[in-house]
Structure 1
């Protein structure tokens, strides 16, 4: 309940204050994950435009590197529904033709992390909210920026191949 109140309050505050709060909240969350070592469930979204380019974002907190948008999956939420929800919340547009591409397990700041990689067609023009998402841009899958998260650069060809 407390996180819902915090989300509502942050939604009404100026963007620079929101980004500042996100950076501090992320630091606290990382400390919690390292101490408690919970199991997290998340999604990453491979959103393609009509030209076949993939959308990558830079967050206002955490790593400054490019990565696919995404976020946490709530309780028993379906990964495809979670991916569409996160995409809509963070980038203000819809995602169609959703398809599960991969499920990966890794460690994230000491926590177990199960990540559903979901692909879809971007419907509309995504726009960084300038709160959680600082920047968003489309890139050719075979020409990702140098400062893309290493795992994303490594896995992108496999994810593309899985799309058939």
Structure 2
């Protein structure tokens, strides 16, 4: 059990080291992907109506080398997303991306950055929150778990 917890913490820590040191942009550059229309029969994924999770989610995620990452993630009902992150106390610490998201098994949302193919994962916790996870939907555990939640704004 201890090995499993230590492994999960190590994986989550590695994800955040990469996210803090990854693709940061200076200024207002946005990664975009050409988007096509989504047919109405694809608006349901893994038993979740895309319309029910559509909205803007905000929160401050933990970071390995700065006080946190103010994150805004907007999921649209046509399976597109917009992502913006501001790394607290970091000069030139603004990052933006947009593209298409997928909902996979266990209600895990996969956000793929079009320019690099890098993926981030968020699990639908309830109607008003997402939690950052690994690709399998494993949630962070322990005291820090509550800091990986993005809350839906009305």
TM-score, length of structure 2 as denominator length: 0.32
TM-score, length of structure 1 as denominator length: 0.31
Higher relative contact order (CA 8 A, sep 6+): 1
User: Which protein is richer in strand relative to its size?
Assistant: 2
User: Which protein is richer in helix relative to its size?
Assistant: 1
